[in-house]
Structure 1
Amino acid sequence: MKQKIVIKLQMMDLKTRSKAMKIAVGLPGVESAATEGEDKDQIIVIGDGVDSVALVKRLRKAMGMAILVSVAAVEDEDKDKDKDKEKDPKPEPLPCVYYVNEQGYYQEPNCIIM
């Protein structure tokens, strides 16, 4: 089950921000990580089976301060797309019509120029 983890950190410059991102992405199961917040002081981690407590412990050890703000479940977009496909099916193509010569032999055209 995918989950969205929001962690508040004290990131003063780009060096500390990149350090925190490397730690967050290094855990198994992490699919994406992004910074957000008014001063870009929050990291949002999205992944499947990510241990939020282990992530916060690693960030506290490396960065000093880390606060776990929220952990929430995220629905897959693939399921939403499948639901949309069921609601709006594509129209079926029209059948093709083939004409067959019933006489069974080749007829020459009425007008021959030569």
Structure 2
Amino acid sequence: MKQTVLIQVCMKCEKARKKAMKIAVGFSGVESLALKGQQRDQIEVKGDNIDIVELARLLGKKVGHASIVSVAEDKKEEKKEEKKVEKKEEKKEEPKIQWPHGPPCPFAFYEIRDPCYDTNVCSIL
């Protein structure tokens, strides 16, 4: 499920903003990030299956006080995905390749010869 999350973080300087952005981008499920608000103290995160509470807790721990302002689902993305699935289904299936003697072997057999264990070696004593 695609979602857009707006988190307000107490960021007093540019260094804190960079740190917050680095943490948010490195979080699993995050696809894009933007700074919002007049003081650029809100982070808008877009992604798929983001653990919002964990992200807010981590930002609060590393940067400053963080609170979740809003959470919204992206319905536009879902409609696009549905259209793509429909287009894929409309395509005709191509005929599969049939091998005359069965499928090719995915691996080759190699014979490893060790002269110490080879019985066909002639040795002079």
Shared fold, TM over 0.5:
yes
Cα distance in 2 for partners of 1:64, 1:11 equals 7
The aligned residue for residue 79 of structure 1 is 80
Letter in 1 for 2:59: L
Cα distance in 1 for partners of 2:3, 2:29 equals 10
Larger Rg: 1
RMSD, aligned α-carbons:
2.2
- The alignment partner of 2:43 has SS state of strand
**1:19-74 superposed Cα distances (whole Å, 9 cap, x missing partner):** 00011011111000110001101000000010000100100110130011011101
Question: 1:1-114 maps to which residues of 2 (within 5 A)?
Answer: 1-75=1-75, 76=77, 79=80, 82=83
Cα distance in 1 for partners of 2:79, 2:14 equals 34
Q: Which ranges in structure 1 are unaligned for 5 or more consecutive residues?
A: 83-114
The aligned residue for residue 92 of structure 1 is none
Letter in 2 for 1:40: R
Q: Which ranges in structure 2 are unaligned for 5 or more consecutive residues?
A: 84-125
Give the paired residue count: 84
TM-score, normalised with respect to structure 1: 0.67
Cα distance in 2 for partners of 1:78, 1:26 equals 27
Letter in 2 for 1:65: H
Deviation at 1:77, TM superposition (A): 7.6
- 4+ aligned runs moved over 3 Å, structure 1: none
Cα distance in 2 for partners of 1:45, 1:72 equals 11
Cα distance in 2 for partners of 1:40, 1:64 equals 14
